[in-house]
């Protein structure tokens, strides 16, 4: 789907958890243009009996509903929907379809409301049940293909690798296992522009080229950057950056600034990235174990950056 | 046959894909494999002095089970199945013998009280209780919070905290949503109200033996470890309902005002008066009309069960009366079996049964005693091998464990150890047992610590960090109250 042309209808999965970052994610997705599909998804971890002392939580939930109270997450999804309506991404006359899917182990199951425009464009509110939140997000990408997942950052992201092994943050697990690009949102606002980073590899440039529409976010200012490992390879790095510059120029995208630095890539990227809304990096690890044992620049940038980071594949 | 390059590429991609999936599986289940590795290493260690081979195996199983309880890499009832199989295969016990250790009065009580919980919640008495609270407390936030904690506490002390938390959660949420539709505008108020429910239940769950599984488990351990039918002096280890209340109930009453004070101080709610919400809530409640025959039958049945626990548990056991009560609700047609069947997580009953069975093996093989001796040796240089130092150490140990797993499971795991520690240190096992059972309710720091915390967290209004923010204050308050009660009050009432 992601052929980089704005004529294509893109599908965005925005993970909503009631935080400001998650609503900014909805805003950001809507800013891509009015023709794209947006799924606002709230994942509720599956109720587990031992934790509630052997009394299934469904008893408490059913009791809540007899009082006319809503399931957790519905309020958040409604607020996300209202943001989209306010932005004009959704109209009042759209057709509405509600669906319930039973989920083994949780009788309240998955619930979905689809709002469908005459053009076929969809806004979906999804209340999903999963063993845990990251698994739920990944499962959702298996239910339907998405072009971009937007998920809020977690402070736990910044913990050391040992803590991350014990209990990885939601965004960390989603980035590790998602089949599509992931935007980890931190105070997300496209106004300050996007910083596209490349290591010059064909893999990185191809990932950027393939997701050009996503990484440039409409009319947001674009700057590019590369980091050479040492002074000797600085010339090669400059050539790499030139190659990326050419790719963008080919698509009539104006490059605002270009940066070539020497040293630790993650360190330089996060420092330069401070002035941008989104740092865009491509996933360099070839496999999960490669990432786990050898690490990857994208993971380091995600951990160190104070701004939003998009990882493209 | 020559293999073309595209075939090789495809093969390589398949192998990488399978390897990737396997790696993902390993990462997902890493704690299961780590627990198994720990078990394999422990079981092959040279035998420590004073510990038998069987003791080492049981100790290994306990540690592996504890890792699995805390990290939950596999569904928890699976741990119960593994414990049962482990006892048969590793300890070479007969399966019939293991099966017999799985069922006792504590397990019957857990089963019965869960069925009762479903039956009681289904009767929809929550609106009556809510009406009572708002009539009693008025509209000030602080008064409502102490009213909620007090009523939740009194009820939870008899019917168990999960029942009351499930019943009262809609009451709390209704007060919150009637105050504001925007969750963020009432975040601190929501925290105060919801924690008033959960902590009110938690501090009261230790008030009577029927307040929680942990109490029944400890009563079962005292009977199993110390009661000898041939020795009349050991009858004191058969703790009856009223005696338990005499020792434990005052602790709930003392803690009650502190809970509200700590919650108000920590969260500083946005609204000091909830008059608008209370008026709307009253209007909602009044729509339910006067008490009907079903309501009265529920109350009468429950009072009969309570009388049975108070006067008959010594003879028939808490579990028998709980089971009888559940049967009475079914016979009276107040609840359907399908409701009970779907409302109770039977895997939990199995889990408690298996852990208690493992606890009995800890005692039988001498593993519990060996750990107790080692524990005392560690504490001795610190001067905490007896008296208030030992009490504090046991309370701290229980608090740490109970914050990582359910409080019933914590007592089931720790019971055999602490009772042996009491024996080795020359302390009264009743005092140490009470300290453990009561400390197991100090699971204020995490969502998983107590059923009431898990239930209020399910509302979606609380963050896990809220539990830490207020929990440490609660832990300090409760520990101080417990140690003062143990040192001053219990000797006065003959414990």
Q: Are A151 and A171 in contact (CB under 8 A)?
A: yes
| Optimal mutation site among B16, B440, B458, B468, interface A, most CBs of chain A within 10 A | B458
Average pLDDT over every residue of B250-257: 95
Return d(Cα A90, Cα A83) in angstroms, integer: 9
Q: Which phi and psi (to 5°) does residue A70 adopt?
A: -95, 160
d(CA B222, CA B206): 16
Task: Kindly list the residues from chain A whose CB atom is less than 8 angstroms away from the CB atom of residue B349.
Answer: 54
Distance separating alpha carbons of residues B415 and B408, to the nearest angstrom: 10
CA proximity to B133, closest of B274, B319, B317, B318: B274
Measure in Å the smallest separation between the Cα of B222 and chain A Cα atoms: 22
CA nearest neighbour of B222 among B198, B247, B187:
B247
**Burial (Cβ within 10 Å: 0-12, 13-18, ≥19) of residue B143:** middle
Give contacts of A44 with chain B, Cβ < 8 Å.
460
Q: Which residues pair with A55 in a beta bridge?
A: B344
Chain B nearest C-alpha distance from A241 (Å): 30
d(CA B130, CA B174): 10
Q: What is the pLDDT of residue A154?
A: 63
Query: How far apart, in whole angstroms, are the C-alpha atoms of residue A224 and residue B187?
Result: 42
Contacts of B348 in chain A (CB under 8 A): 49-50, 53-54
Strands (E), A72-179: 95-103, 106-116, 122-130, 148-152
Nearest CA in chain A to B459: A72
Q: What is the pLDDT of residue B420?
A: 92
Put simply, the answer to whether A50 touches B447 (Cβ < 8 Å) is no
User: Are the Cβ atoms of A49 and B345 closer than 8 angstroms?
Assistant: yes
Separation CA A242–CA A226 (nearest Å)? 10
CA gap B3, B214 in Å, rounded: 65
Encode pLDDT of B192-227 as tens digits.
Answer: 999 999 999 999 999 999 898 899 999 999 998 999
The pLDDT tens digits for B457-478 are 888 788 888 999 999 999 999 9
Judge: A51–B447 Cβ closer than 8 Å, yes or no. yes
Residue A12 DSSP class: E
Count of residues in chain A: 313
Tell me which chain B residues have a C-beta less than 8 angstroms from the C-beta of A64. Answer: 169-170, 173, 459
DSSP 3-state assignment of A224? Answer: strand
Paired tokens of B147: 């009213």
Cβ contact A60–B408 (<8 Å): no
List, in order, residues 6 or more apart from A178 with CB less than 8 Å away.
Answer: A137, A138, A141, A149
User: Closest by alpha carbon to A226, among A202, A278, A261?
Assistant: A261
Taking each helix axis from N to C terminus, what angle separates B213-226 and B429-439, rounded to the nearest 10 degrees? 160
Radius of gyration of chain B measured on its C-alpha atoms: 25
- Grouped pLDDT means (10 residues each) for chain A, 313 residues: 57 89 90 90 77 76 81 84 90 86 74 90 91 87 90 61 59 85 88 88 82 81 89 86 87 89 90 92 66 68 88 87
Which chain A residues touch B163 with a CB distance below 8 Å?
55
Least confident of A10-24, A292-306, B94-108, B365-379: A292-306
Q: What's the CATH number of domain A190-312, 3.40.50.11260, 3.30.420.40, 3.30.479.30, 3.40.50.620?
A: 3.40.50.620
Cα distances from B52 to residues B55, B61, B365, B367, B370, in angstroms, run 5, 14, 7, 8, 9
How far from B123 is each of B120, B163, B329, CA to CA, in Å?
Answer: 5, 11, 10
* Amino acid B397: pLDDT: 92
DSSP, collapsed to helix, strand or coil, labels residue B299 as helix
Query: Do B175 and B193 meet the contact criterion of CB atoms below 8 Å apart?
Result: yes
CA distance B364 to B372: 14
Angle at B465 between CA B464 and CA B470, to 5 degrees: 110
With an 8 Å Cβ cutoff, are B345 and A56 in contact? yes
List Cα–Cα distances, B485 to B250, B251, B391, B433, in angstroms: 9, 7, 11, 14
Q: Could you say which of B16, B343, B409 has the minimum Cβ distance to residue A55?
A: B343
| φ, ψ (nearest 5 deg) of residue B250 | -55, -30
Tell me whether residues B342 and A58 touch, CB distance under 8 A.
Answer: yes
Distance from CA of B428 to the nearest CA of A (A): 29
What's the complex ipTM?
0.78
Tell me whether residues A50 and B345 touch, CB distance under 8 A: yes
d(CA A279, CA B121): 52
Token digits for B465?
A: 């960090």
Please give the residue that has the higher pLDDT: either B15 or B82: B82
Residues of chain A with C-beta less than 8 angstroms from the C-beta of B460: 18, 44, 71-73
Smallest Cα–Cα separation from B436: which of B411, B417, B416, B412? B411
Could you tell me how many residues make up chain B?
495
Q: How far is B454 from chain A (nearest CA, A)?
A: 6
Residue B280: how many CB atoms within 10 A of its CB? 16
DSSP state of B489: I
Task: Please give the structure tokens belonging to residue A233.
Answer: 């390879």
DSSP B252-297: HHHHHHHHHHHHHHHH--S-SB-HHHHHHHHHHHHTT-S--HHHHH
Alpha carbons B409 and B358: distance in angstroms, whole number: 12
Q: Phi and psi (nearest 5°) for B40? A: -65, -40
In this prediction, residues B55-59 reach a mean pLDDT of: 94
* Alpha carbon distances (Å) from B24 to A23, A46, A79, B18: 31, 20, 35, 10
Please give the mean pLDDT across all residues of chain B: 89
* DSSP assignment letter at A127: E
pLDDT band at B265 (very low <50, low <70, confident <90, very high): very high
- Which of A52, A57, A136 would you mutate first to test chain B, the one with the most B CBs within 10 A? A52
pLDDT interval class at B1 (50, 70, 90): very low
The rounded distance, in Å, linking the Cα atoms of B474 and B485 is 16
Structure tokens of A170?
Answer: 């939601």
Q: For residue A185, which of A312, A308, A282 has the smallest C-alpha distance?
A: A308
CA-based Rg of chain A, rounded to a whole angstrom? 20
- Answer for the pair A170, A204: CB distance below 8 angstroms, yes or no: no
* Res B4: pLDDT: 60
HSE of B133 in the Cβ direction (CA atoms, 13 Å)? 32
- Cα of A143 to nearest chain B Cα, Å: 18
CA distance B380 to chain A (A): 33
CB A298 within 8 A of CB A283: yes
Question: What is the model's pLDDT at position A105?
Answer: 64
Q: Which residues pair with A182 in a beta bridge?
A: A149, A311
In angstroms, rounded to a whole number, what is the distance separating the alpha carbons of residues A244 and A255?
10
pLDDT at B260 exceeding the cut of 50: yes
In terms of CA atoms, which chain B residue is nearest residue A56? B343
Query: B218 to chain A, minimum CA–CA distance in Å?
Result: 16
Determine, for residues B342 and A107 on separate chains, whether the beta-carbon distance falls below 8 Å.
Answer: yes
Q: CB–CB of A106/A118 below 8 Å?
A: no
- Cα–Cα distance, B234 to B253 (Å, whole number): 30
Task: Give the list of residues 6+ apart from residue A208 with CB closer than 8 angstroms, or none.
Answer: A196, A198, A215, A244, A247, A280, A282, A312
* CATH code for the structural domain at A11-185: 3.40.50.620
Asked if A72's CB is within 8 angstroms of B460's CB, the reply is yes
Measured between CA atoms, how close is A17 to chain B, in angstroms?
10
**What tens digit of pLDDT does each residue of B135-158 get?**
888 889 999 999 999 999 999 999
| B342/A56 touch (CB, cutoff 8 Å), yes or no | yes
Q: Do A60 and B166 touch (CB under 8 A)?
A: yes
CB B105 within 8 A of CB B220: yes
Is there a contact between B455 and A52 if contact means CB atoms under 8 Å apart? yes
DSSP class per residue in B393-447? HHHHHHHHHHTTS-HHHHHHHHHHHHHHHHHHHT--HHHHHHHHHHHTT---SSS
Total Cβ atoms within 10 A of residue A104: 8
Instruction: Determine whether the interchain pair B121/A63 forms a contact, defined as Cβ–Cβ distance below 8 Å.
Output: yes
Closest CA to B212 of B445, B350, B480, B410: B410
Of the candidates B188, B151, B122, which has an alpha carbon nearest to the alpha carbon of residue B335?
B122
Inter-chain residue contact A60 with B165, CB threshold 8 Å: yes
Q: Which residues contact A137 (CB under 8 A, 6 or more apart)?
A: A13, A15, A41, A43, A130, A149, A151, A170, A174, A178
pLDDT computed for residue A107 by the predictor: 65
User: A11-185 and A190-312 share one CATH topology?
Assistant: yes
pLDDT digits (tens, 9 = 90+) for A207-224: 888 888 888 887 778 999
Domain residue spans of chain A = 11-185, 190-312
Q: What percent of chain B has pLDDT over 70?
A: 98
Which residues on adjacent β-strands are paired with residue A278? A194, A308
């Amino acid at each position: 789907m992601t052929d980089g042309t704005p004529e294509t209808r893109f599908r965005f999965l925005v993970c909503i958890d009631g935080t400001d970052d998650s609503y900014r994610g909805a805003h950001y997705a809507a800013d891509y243009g009015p023709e794209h599909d947006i799924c606002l998804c709230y994942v509720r971890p599956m109720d587990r009996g031992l934790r509630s002392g052997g009394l299934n939580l469904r008893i408490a939930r059913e009791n809540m509903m007899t009082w006319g109270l809503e399931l957790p997450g519905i309020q958040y999804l409604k607020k996300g929907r209202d943001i989209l309506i306010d932005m004009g991404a959704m109209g009042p006359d759209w057709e509405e379809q509600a669906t319930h899917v039973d989920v083994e182990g949780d009788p309240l199951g998955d619930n979905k409301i689809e709002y469908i425009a005459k053009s076929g464009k969809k806004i979906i509110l999804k209340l999903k049940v999963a063993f845990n939140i990251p698994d739920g997000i990944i499962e959702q990408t298996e239910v339907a293909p998405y072009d971009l997942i937007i998920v809020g950052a977690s402070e736990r992201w910044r913990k050391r690798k040992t803590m991350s092994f014990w209990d990885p943050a939601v965004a960390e697990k989603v980035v590790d296992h998602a089949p599509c690009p992931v935007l980890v949102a931190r105070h997300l606002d496209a106004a300050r522009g996007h910083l596209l980073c490349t290591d010059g590899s064909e893999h990185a440039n191809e990932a950027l080229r393939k997701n050009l529409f996503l990484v440039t976010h409409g009319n947001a200012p674009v700057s590019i950057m590369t980091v050479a490992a040492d002074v000797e390879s600085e010339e090669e790095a400059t050539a790499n950056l030139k190659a990326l510059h050419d790719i963008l120029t080919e698509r009539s995208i104006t490059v605002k600034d270009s940066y070539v630095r020497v040293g630790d890539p993650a360190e330089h990227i996060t420092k330069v990235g401070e002035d941008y809304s989104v740092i865009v990096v491509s996933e360099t690890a070839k496999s999960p174990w490669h990432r786990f044992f050898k690490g990857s620049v994208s993971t380091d940038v995600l951990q160190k950056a104070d701004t939003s980071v998009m990882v493209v594949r | 046959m020559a293999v073309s390059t595209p075939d090789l590429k495809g093969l390589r991609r398949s192998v990488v894909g399978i390897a990737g999936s396997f790696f993902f599986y390993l990462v997902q289940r890493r704690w299961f494999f780590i627990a198994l590795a720990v078990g394999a290493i422990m079981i092959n260690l040279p035998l420590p002095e004073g510990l038998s081979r069987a003791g080492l195996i049981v100790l290994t199983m306990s540690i592996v089970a504890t890792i699995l309880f805390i990290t939950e890499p596999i569904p928890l009832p699976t741990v119960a199945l593994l414990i049962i199989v482990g006892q048969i295969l590793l300890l070479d016990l007969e399966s019939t013998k293991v099966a017999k250790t799985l069922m006792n009065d504590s397990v019957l009580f857990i089963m019965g009280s869960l069925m009762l919980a479903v039956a009681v919640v289904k009767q929809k008495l929550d609106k009556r209780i809510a009406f009572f609270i708002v009539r009693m407390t008025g509209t000030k936030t602080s008064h409502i919070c102490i009213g909620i904690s007090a009523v939740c506490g009194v009820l939870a002390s008899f019917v168990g905290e999960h029942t009351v938390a499930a019943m009262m959660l809609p009451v709390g949420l209704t007060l919150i949503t009637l105050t504001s539709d925007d969750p963020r505008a009432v975040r601190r108020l929501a925290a105060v109200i919801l924690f008033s429910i959960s902590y009110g239940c938690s501090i009261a769950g230790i008030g009577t033996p029927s307040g929680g599984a942990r109490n029944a488990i400890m009563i079962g351990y005292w009977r199993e470890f110390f009661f000898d039918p041939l020795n009349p002096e050991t009858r004191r280890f058969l703790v009856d309902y009223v005696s338990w209340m005499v020792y434990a109930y005052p602790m709930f009453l003392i803690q009650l005002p502190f809970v509200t004070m700590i919650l108000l101080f920590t969260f500083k709610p946005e609204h000091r008066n909830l008059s608008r919400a209370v008026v709307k809530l009253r209007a909602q409640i009044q729509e339910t009309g006067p008490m009907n025959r079903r309501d009265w039958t529920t109350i009468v049945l429950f009072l009969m069960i309570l009388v049975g626990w108070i006067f008959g548990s010594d003879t028939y056991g808490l579990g028998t009366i709980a089971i009888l009560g559940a049967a009475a609700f079914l016979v009276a047609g107040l609840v359907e079996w399908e409701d009970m069947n779907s409302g109770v997580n039977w895997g939990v009953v199995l889990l408690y049964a298996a852990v208690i069975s493992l606890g009995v093996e800890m005692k039988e093989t001498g593993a519990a005693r060996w750990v107790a001796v080692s524990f005392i040796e560690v504490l001795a240089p610190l001067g905490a091998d007896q008296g208030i130092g030992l009490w504090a150490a046991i309370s701290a140990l229980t608090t740490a464990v109970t914050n990582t797993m359910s409080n019933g499971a914590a007592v089931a795991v720790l019971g055999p150890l602490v009772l042996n520690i009491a024996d080795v240190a020359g302390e009264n096992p009743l005092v140490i047992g009470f300290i453990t059972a009561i400390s197991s309710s100090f699971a204020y720091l995490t969502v998983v610590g107590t059923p009431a915390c898990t239930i209020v967290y399910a509302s979606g209004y609380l963050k896990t960090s809220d539990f830490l923010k207020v929990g440490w204050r609660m832990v300090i308050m409760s520990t101080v109250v417990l140690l003062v009660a143990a040192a001053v009050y219990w000797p006065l009432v003959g414990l």
